[in-house]
Amino acid sequence: IETPIGYCPKKLNLIGLKNFNDDDWKALFELPVEFWKSEMANFKKYLEEQVGEDVPAAIWQEIEKVERRFVTK
């Protein structure tokens, strides 16, 4: 299943997990938008402060793509 941060599995082998229900599945793969927006902001700050100009342009492009996917969610 495609999500703003990538792909999540449609199905997992849950044999041996007792009492694992639909609510547990939803909680496991929940994507809280505000949390991820904050994570991306923190990640960008880290890259700017710790790596600076050495961050490849491709990394910034991928960050922008992820941020855009969350805006449309």
In three-state secondary structure terms, 4 is coil
Asked whether residue 26 carries a pLDDT value surpassing 70, the answer given is yes
Mean pLDDT value across residues 49-62: 96
Q: Please name every residue paired with 6 in a beta bridge, in sequence order, or none if there are none.
A: 3
pLDDT number for residue 49:
97
pLDDT number for residue 55:
97
pLDDT number for residue 58:
97
pLDDT number for residue 70:
79
pLDDT number for residue 72:
63
Mean pLDDT value across residues 40-47: 95
Distance CA 18, CA 41 (A): 37
Long-range contacts of 14-17 (CB under 8 A, 24+ apart): none
